[in-house]
Amino acid sequence: MRKFSMLVSVGVFIVLAVMASVVFAAYQHAGDADNDAKVFLGVYPGAAGTKLDNCALCHGGGEYTDPSTHKTTTMGSCQYCHAVTNYGQKTDQFAETLNSYGKDYLANGRNAAALKAIESLDSDGDGYTNIAEITAVRYPGDKNDDPTKVAAPSRVFDKAQLEAMPQHTQFMLMNTTKSGDYYAEYSGVVMEHLLKRAGIRSDATRITVYAPDGYSIAHPLADDPSNEGPSYAPYVNGTYPQAIYYYDPVADLAKGGWCDYSSPGNAGRNNGDAIEVKGGLRYILALRASGKDLVPGYLDSTNKLASGTEGPFRTVTPQKFVGPPDQPSNKNNPSLIWPFDSTLDHNAGFSSKSATIIKVEPLPEGTTDIDVMEAGWNYVDTGKIVVYGDIDPQRNILDKLSALASVVRSADDKAFKHPGFKRALAQEINEARILVAKRHYKPAYRELQMEMLPKLEKCEQSGRHEGREWVTDCDLQQRLLWSLQEIITLLKIVV
């Protein structure tokens, strides 16, 4: 496989960065006293705001065994670094958290000159030079992330977009296994409606919701009679059974019990009352609790999601099997009311705090996952959530075609056999975009696959272009080819 080392212009770099399906906000470490992030952006300004503008560029995750509990946990780069270095106290351990690219950067001087010196290296051993991967917005220190990988279709929603959708409010019991039950009033977007807005496809079967630390919960879209017992998982579509309000002074946390009744929604309710919810109880993506924005999550001194934080968004699932706030499993007293019952629906455990990523399954053929162990904290910081996977790829295809046309138009005329070929190639891309906008996917696919792809065939390893090709600059040609192949893969989902 030919390795490319020529750095394209900053303008082309920026356009290619925009072509990434999922946009990452910067998540630079507040304690980056050596300004490594600024050094990288100084050399590669087009990487700002992409997934490369992130600790995961140089740091990797791993398995960490807690010396006190002997429990081994797989962690993303942020948590892994915190654990290995004890939140920066063990400065001699920082190097242990570096990935292959980070180690090469450190070994070559840890400065701007080091970045330039390692451009021609293939730090992660995936067959592509570091500069080729940086230009294609791929991690040069992750062998599972290279320019041939095609990210699954995705939609990113910010808080303003979610607030503009119809809001659903429901008062309900959040029944936990150990940490204490509570009644709360959550409001947000019905998950079924959010998925439709994202363009969920008819062959989708379930979703998996991820927290920023990689913790995940899978939910079937539809409920069925077999969805119960030990394998039960809350479903997405439709309503849940009407809930009953349970109250007893013995259980009241304010009186020494285990259930928190402090939410304003408890006022005026009596034990045994039916809980009326307009529109029924639904699986929702909550933005607020008791009318207040959810507190964004962060890692506490124990390297876990801090107590009292559950935002900016949380999935909230009602009880399918309605029951009372039973006692915590670790503080159970059978002589008191509502002893712990393992058969009850402890729905709070299925309600993901700081939900940042929703995967719609199955992933379309030829596409790859988001690195869920790394991506989440970016979305917490910016108040966004991404839905990706088996969804309508039209918006992603349109964006990629627009960016591809911009790359062609901004390229040097000398990179083409003839200046007219440059204009013709940009026009063909624009015509394909018009077809996609009208959802004429088959003719767009034929245009790209049959007409355009042969004009961007790979250069030989010697660097010489073939006779049929319109682009004579092999580095530009390869980058255009990667982008075109991504678009064709996404089109295959709908043709």
Q: Each residue of 66-101: pLDDT tens digit? A: 777 777 766 666 667 767 777 667 777 778 889 999
Of 17, 32, 151, the residue nearest 102 (C-alpha): 32
**How many CB atoms lie under 10 A from the CB of residue 421?**
18
Q: To the nearest whole percent, how much of the chain has pLDDT over 70?
A: 87
Max mean pLDDT range (43-47, 358-362, 464-468): 358-362
How far apart are the C-alpha atoms of 223 and 184, rounded to whole Å?
Answer: 24
Does residue 19 carry a pLDDT above 70? no
For 470, which DSSP code? S
Of 206, 208, 230, 229, the residue nearest 217 (C-alpha): 208
Instruction: State the pLDDT confidence band at 51, using cuts at 50, 70 and 90.
Output: confident
**pLDDT (tens digit per residue) in 106-148:** 999 999 999 999 999 999 999 999 998 898 888 899 888 888 8
**How many CB atoms lie under 10 A from the CB of residue 166?**
8
Looking at residue 161, its pLDDT comes to 98
How far apart are the C-alpha atoms of 162 and 356, rounded to whole Å?
Answer: 13
What pTM does this model have?
0.81
**How many CB atoms lie under 10 A from the CB of residue 22?**
21
The DSSP-derived string for 215-245 is -EEEEESS--TTS-GGG----SSS-BPPEE-
The DSSP-derived string for 351-392 is S-TT--EEEEESPPTT-B---HHHHHHHHHHHTEEEEEESB-
Vertex 371: Cα angle to 369 and 375 (nearest 5)? 125
Does residue 175 carry a pLDDT above 80? yes
The CA radius of gyration of the chain, in Å to the nearest whole number, is 26
Looking at residue 455, its pLDDT comes to 82
Q: Which of 48-57, 117-126, 290-299, 338-347 has the lowest mean pLDDT?
A: 48-57
Per-residue pLDDT averaged across 423-447, rounded?
A: 96
Identify which has the larger pLDDT, 374 or 161. 161
Does residue 335 carry a pLDDT above 90? yes
Contact 102, 319 (CB under 8 A): no
Does residue 435 carry a pLDDT above 90? yes
Looking at residue 366, its pLDDT comes to 87
